[in-house]
Structure 1
Amino acid sequence: MSDKHLSSRFDVDLNLLLTRLLEMGGLVEAQIARAMEALNAFDLTLIEQVLESERRLNVMEIEIDEEVSNIIVRRQPTARDLRLLMAVSKCITNLERAGDEARKIAKRTRRIDEKHVGLTVNIAEIKASGEMAADILRRALDAFARMDTVAAAQIVRDDEAIDNAFAAFVRKLITSMMEDPRTIPVGLDYLFIAKAIERIGDHATNIAEFVVYVVKGTDVRHTPREQIERS
């Protein structure tokens, strides 16, 4: 968080805003966990929970963004405080989109359960990458709460493991579909699930990059990982 201000009310506003951000992040984490558990067990109750909770995320995004705008109007912040408020606005957008990806996982899981009875694909890489994506999102939110640039840089580096798991799964999936064309429909559904998990990792990485933006004043989006680590 930013340093203390002459206006204690400003500090209260910022702390409440961060609390709402972390609340939204916790909801997204729960969404991802439910979606992955639904994929593992084909639990239709969990699928419906994911789809229902996604609407709450949309409402939270609007509410938090509106509060960011109100604080900017009331307090007219500058420098790091303004960067923090802008970063919060961008973080909630990434959280909402990560929630959308969890919804996609749930919907594809329901489709697999309904349409592809008896057709199976080894999805060990998907499960592993799902766990990694959930972990780096949790760590990204923690880094944002503490404004920890070292932890943020590590998250950016760790996202590469999710990308590698996705690439490995795609290669294996293509081989499987070539060997047995009957698996193509279910394989494509699993491909969409794997891509959704990769995107969750990307959104977590974006949140980590906003930590560097707030603390250093440098926009490191689209910047090579090595350069972010040096920063």
Structure 2
Amino acid sequence: EGPLEKALRRNDGVRASVGGGGGGGGRAGARAKSSDHAYILSPLSFHARLRQSDRLRCVDFPKYKLTSELSSLSVMLSRPQLELGRRIAATVKPRGDVARPLFPEYRPALAISCLTAKEWWKYAVRCVGRLNRRRSWAEFMIAYKKRKRYLPLYKRGAHHESCPWLSKLTVSETAMLDRLEQDRTISAQGIMCWRNIADAQAERERSKHDAARREREKAKRAATGEGGGHGG
């Protein structure tokens, strides 16, 4: 029996602090008891980034990906809540004895038969090449062309409202963007990487436009001031 179980046996509540100092625990606990709120997770102030996959079925990548940085985290749980959390964690934990497809972005969406043997052999060859870190120049060129098409389409589709210089996607361009995102030869990690690049490009363009606008306003104010001085 560990120290946590002993503490739970002595007291029905447990307060765990991760990354914070021990001295502030008593003060925070006193504040929690004096308030009318019963927080499981104490109020926090932080920035988080959420990514959601557009695919309905996610095999080797998460449906939702939340990333953040927390300097400290305070949790207050009762013993039943802690036991429930352990059961939930054990249920959602990935099983190690379940076979998962190798490079599913290359895997043919076809049943194995004499008619589809060629596609499955191509899949096997590509998987061996990926495992040995060997890829053909033709694959590099195909991926490069897809990336070159995807970046401007996604940037315009995601940022045209906040960036007036970006035009809205047409119906055909929206369909092309959907086809690229549903392309099974492009991994989810690749799509996320391309989106990050497009977001960074839009942010850089936004910063340049804001800087140019501030310079124009500064020059306009300076010209107005000089004109007023001459007029006086």
TM-score range, shorter chain: under 0.3
Structure with greater helix percent: 1
Structure with greater strand percent: 2
Larger Rg over CA atoms: 2
- Greater relative contact order (Cα < 8 A, sep 6+): 1
TM-score (norm 2): 0.26
TM-score (norm 1): 0.26
